[in-house]
Amino acid sequence: MGWLNLVMKDVREHGISFVVLAVGFVLVVLIALVQQQSGAFSMSGFEVVRFSLITIIPLISFIVGNRLIVREYTGGTRRFIEALPIANFTPLFVKYCVGLLYVGLLCVAVVILAATAANAAEDVTRQYLRLLLMKTCVIGTLFWSLVFFVSFTGRIRLVIYVVLGLTLTYLINMPGFDETRFAPLAIMDRQLFVFERDLIPWRDIVETLLISLAFVVAGFTLALFNEGSIAEQLGKPVSRRDMAAFALLGMGCLTVYTTLQKKWEYETYEFSGENVVRSESPAIAVSYISADNEESAQRIVDSMRDTLTGFQTDIGLSDLPKVQIALNTELERTEIEPELLDGVLVTANFVDYDVFEHSMLQSIAMHHLLLALTNARWDYETRHWLLDGMARWWAEGAEQAKDSSNNDELFALALLTKRRFDFEVSPLLIWQTITDQYGFEAADALSYTAILYLEEMKGKATVVQLAADYINEEVGDSTIESVQRLFSSDLARFEQITGQPLNTFSKQWINWLEQHASRPGVASRIKSVPHLQGDVKNVVDSGYGYRLEASYTLVTQTTDAGSAASAGNMPIPGQCVLRHQLASAYDLETMIYERDRDRQECKLDGIAHSVDSPYASGDRAYVLLEYESEQFHRPIPIWVGRIHIQ
């Protein structure tokens, strides 16, 4: 029973510390889950499991190894253990098992917490949980086995950690090395770790366990070789000579790392060639492919310069990220593709854009400029409406936005979205739902009208102050300040700056928005769009394949199009469109990139769309029904949803 006494000894010595560590671990995981759920487009809650394996579990493994192993060798207490009538192998085996059990329990805990916080759409099955738990425990075993080995290296253990970290960083950044083929990194793949639900990566798991076994064998060898003389020598206090050697080694590693980092750096993304229109301040560049498109490019640069100059003056910024806009004539006119790449890069087919489309292009560029300035902190759920609304507000001319020629269409789109949505909850607080179900354009229109109302009620200075509060937000110099920032309520922030609770503001804004429904330009656009309700089903055809079928019903007859169709049982004017693509098992931010559209008359009797689908049983499809009208530059979403193919 010597091993049991050793276990009880470790529990008595380290039990309280391990409990405190576990409580801290659970709190950090819960905070991460809350933060993940508050994201503008929250990914799966199981992303927190991967986050914990990358950050928290290694740190805890290091602390546990330091208490269980390092303290005994540096303090000399292991000699009392060696005097007991037990084999030298037994204490080492007990310590390995105790540490492995503790780390394993933390791995199980983080999976359970993530599963508890998962929403219904994630379809958490037992098979998926077993797969995720298996991968999590395998990685946890690897971390503890590594720490177990390194803990016996005494005073050079920190050097070993640094060398291992730099080596791993070098391999990951080396262009000729595919880290996804290396077993532990393959398991931790950003996509497959969380979203793979069926295939078990047996080869990667076995290879990872073999690497873990190699570390364990190395640890036992180091501790038992020549009766532990090597480990005892390494466990002695660090001398001045050792300190000097470590300093030289550290400087050498830093020099090598800096040299390698320069090789990893790449030239900033910069348009080249003659077909580019530029502005030096603010930094803007627009590529236009051929001379025929130069006038359109110059128009974009001029309008973008005015927008950015006004924004820079309002916020008081000395410099702005570079904005580059690339012409791609292969894109459809409605496709605008933004990304954060050395500033802001937007790709669009802008050759024949009119005033509204130019404003949309500027709004999207401003949206990503604001993201770049806030290091993507502005797209959290409860503040994303400010990001969208202010981007459009500055694109429309800020204080001149209330007189913009685009307002009739934007107000009409906002009101059409409102009539399809139950506003018992403020739409400004559930921005992901608005964007997902009604599209970016509808969310953009709603948020823009909210900013216009805020300006009308509180003045331009309040709008600018609210924007500056997020743009100039200080991240904090300490961990405490960073954690405090996570609990900073956007509702309290809004009320502090505007002097009005957000819920009260939201109700007043909706009433104000309704008052604009009678404006001629707004009313005519609203009447041109029938209030349709769509329904999509998947059916099995005679060939045992799957088809998507969609139908429409008329909710009200208040519109001109709806009244005409109902009176004569005629198809509704305009065209109804069905689009679809394969969707994730999770409710991720989704945009349909498939250009195939099934355009049909919006008939109310029977099936309007019946299309072949490439999906198999068990797949999940993202389906969109739209109404195209000449009164609007973008189609109006009628129905958006995810359906299971079965």
208 and 84 within one domain: yes
Check if the beta carbon of residue 297 is closer than 8 Å to that of residue 277: yes
CA distances from 542 to 269, 537, 550, 586, 645 (A): 53, 16, 18, 31, 16
Tokens of 298: 């110059």
Q: Which residues contact 401 (CB under 8 A, 6 or more apart)?
A: 392, 393, 407, 448, 452, 455
Number of H helices and number of E strands within the chain? Answer: 24, 12
Number of Cβ within 10 Å of residue 210's Cβ equals: 10
150 and 273 within one domain: no
Please state which of the ranges 41-50, 437-446, 542-551 shows the lowest mean pLDDT: 41-50
Q: In the predicted model, what is the mean pLDDT of residues 40-57?
A: 76
Q: Which position has the higher pLDDT, 445 or 476?
A: 445
Domain boundary among 525, 548, 567: 525
Give the mean pLDDT of the chain.
81
Query: Which pLDDT score, from 0 to 100, does residue 29 have?
Result: 87
Is the C-alpha dihedral spanning 321, 360, 374, 492 positive or negative? Answer: positive
User: 241 in a domain, yes or no?
Assistant: yes
338 and 245 within one domain: no
438 and 409 within one domain: yes
Tokens of 327: 């012409």
Tokens of 329: 């004539």
286 and 249 within one domain: no
User: Which range, 28-37, 178-187, 391-400, 561-570, has the best average confidence (pLDDT)?
Assistant: 391-400
Q: In the predicted model, what is the mean pLDDT of residues 265-289?
A: 81
Task: Please state the separation of Cα 200 from the chain's center in Å.
Answer: 25
Q: Which position has the higher pLDDT, 455 or 379?
A: 455
547 and 515 within one domain: no
CA atoms within 13 A on the CB side of 193: 25
> DSSP state, 498?
H
The beta-carbon contacts of 336-339 under 8 Å, at least 24 apart in sequence, are: 336/360, 336/361, 336/364, 338/364, 338/365, 338/367, 338/368, 339/368
267 has a pLDDT exceeding 50: no
Query: Which pLDDT score, from 0 to 100, does residue 237 have?
Result: 54
The beta-carbon contacts of 68-71 under 8 Å, at least 24 apart in sequence, are: 68/10, 68/14, 68/95, 68/98, 68/99, 68/151, 69/95, 69/148, 69/151, 69/152, 70/151, 70/154, 70/157, 70/235
| Burial of 603 from C-beta contacts in 10 A (0-12 / 13-18 / 19+) | middle
Q: Which residues contact 10 (CB under 8 A, 6 or more apart)?
A: 68, 94, 95, 98
Element (H, E) at 276: strand 276-279
Q: In the predicted model, what is the mean pLDDT of residues 321-326?
A: 93
Give dist(CA 247, CA 252) in Å, integer: 9
Give me the CATH number covering residue 623.
2.60.40
User: 382 in a domain, yes or no?
Assistant: no
540 and 494 within one domain: no
Query: Which pLDDT score, from 0 to 100, does residue 239 have?
Result: 56
pLDDT tens digits, 583-614 = 766 656 666 666 678 888 888 888 999 988 88
Query: Which pLDDT score, from 0 to 100, does residue 568 have?
Result: 44
User: 338 in a domain, yes or no?
Assistant: yes
Band the pLDDT of 567: cuts 50, 70, 90: very low
Query: Which pLDDT score, from 0 to 100, does residue 264 have?
Result: 47
Beta bridge partners of 627: 576, 636
Domain boundary among 239, 264, 289: 264
Check if the beta carbon of residue 296 is closer than 8 Å to that of residue 286: no
Query: Which pLDDT score, from 0 to 100, does residue 233 have?
Result: 52
Specify the number of domains making up the chain.
4
User: 621 in a domain, yes or no?
Assistant: yes
Tokens of 488: 């900073």
Q: Which residues contact 20 (CB under 8 A, 6 or more apart)?
A: none
Q: Is 508 helix (H, G, I), strand (E, B) or coil?
A: helix
Check if the beta carbon of residue 369 is closer than 8 Å to that of residue 392: no
Q: What is the 3-state secondary structure (H, E, C) of 49-95?
A: HHHHHHCHHHHHHHHHHHHHHHHHHHHCCHHHHHCCCCCCHHHHHHH
468 and 491 within one domain: yes
pLDDT tens digits, 468-502 = 988 887 655 444 555 555 556 788 889 999 999 99
Band the pLDDT of 31: cuts 50, 70, 90: confident
Query: Which pLDDT score, from 0 to 100, does residue 279 have?
Result: 92
Phi, psi of 84 (to 5 degrees): -70, 155
Q: Which residues contact 383 (CB under 8 A, 6 or more apart)?
A: 470, 490
Check if the beta carbon of residue 57 is closer than 8 Å to that of residue 188: no
144 and 245 within one domain: yes
pLDDT tens digits, 136-177 = 999 999 999 988 888 877 666 777 777 777 777 766 665 555
Q: In the predicted model, what is the mean pLDDT of residues 424-429?
A: 77
Query: Which pLDDT score, from 0 to 100, does residue 51 have?
Result: 86
Query: Which pLDDT score, from 0 to 100, does residue 460 have?
Result: 94
Q: In the predicted model, what is the mean pLDDT of residues 540-566?
A: 71
Domain boundary among 357, 373, 389: 373
Percent of residues in the chain assigned helix, strand, coil, to nearest 5: 60, 15, 25
Q: List alpha helices for 120-201, DSSP H.
A: 126-151, 157-173, 183-187, 192-195
Give me the CATH number covering residue 341.
1.10.390.10
| Distance in Å from the first CA to the final CA of the chain | 57
Band the pLDDT of 303: cuts 50, 70, 90: very high
294 has a pLDDT exceeding 50: yes
Band the pLDDT of 232: cuts 50, 70, 90: low
Q: In the predicted model, what is the mean pLDDT of residues 340-354?
A: 88
Query: Which pLDDT score, from 0 to 100, does residue 346 have?
Result: 93
Lay out the sheet containing 276-279: strands in order across. 276-279, 284-287, 323-327, 344-348, 336-340
Q: In the predicted model, what is the mean pLDDT of residues 184-207?
A: 82
641 has a pLDDT exceeding 80: yes
Q: In the predicted model, what is the mean pLDDT of residues 185-199?
A: 79
Give dist(CA 2, CA 91) in Å, integer: 9
327 has a pLDDT exceeding 90: yes
User: 171 in a domain, yes or no?
Assistant: yes
Query: Which pLDDT score, from 0 to 100, does residue 124 have?
Result: 74
Give dist(CA 385, CA 220) in Å, integer: 58
Q: Which position has the higher pLDDT, 163 or 522?
A: 522
User: 366 in a domain, yes or no?
Assistant: yes
Amino acid symbol at 279: S
Give dist(CA 507, CA 109) in Å, integer: 42
587 and 490 within one domain: no
> DSSP state, 267?
P
150 and 48 within one domain: yes
Query: Which pLDDT score, from 0 to 100, does residue 498 have?
Result: 93
Amino acid symbol at 642: R
Q: In the predicted model, what is the mean pLDDT of residues 199-209?
A: 88
Give dist(CA 189, CA 194) in Å, integer: 8
239 and 298 within one domain: no
Query: Which pLDDT score, from 0 to 100, does residue 41 have?
Result: 45
- Domain residues for the domain of 67 are 2-264
User: 389 in a domain, yes or no?
Assistant: no
Band the pLDDT of 38: cuts 50, 70, 90: low
619 has a pLDDT exceeding 90: no
Task: Please state the separation of Cα 83 from the chain's center in Å.
Answer: 56
258 has a pLDDT exceeding 70: no
User: 191 in a domain, yes or no?
Assistant: yes
Give dist(CA 445, CA 97) in Å, integer: 59
Q: Which residues contact 419 (CB under 8 A, 6 or more apart)?
A: 531
Query: Which pLDDT score, from 0 to 100, does residue 594 have?
Result: 61
Number of Cβ within 10 Å of residue 287's Cβ equals: 19
Band the pLDDT of 558: cuts 50, 70, 90: low
Band the pLDDT of 40: cuts 50, 70, 90: very low
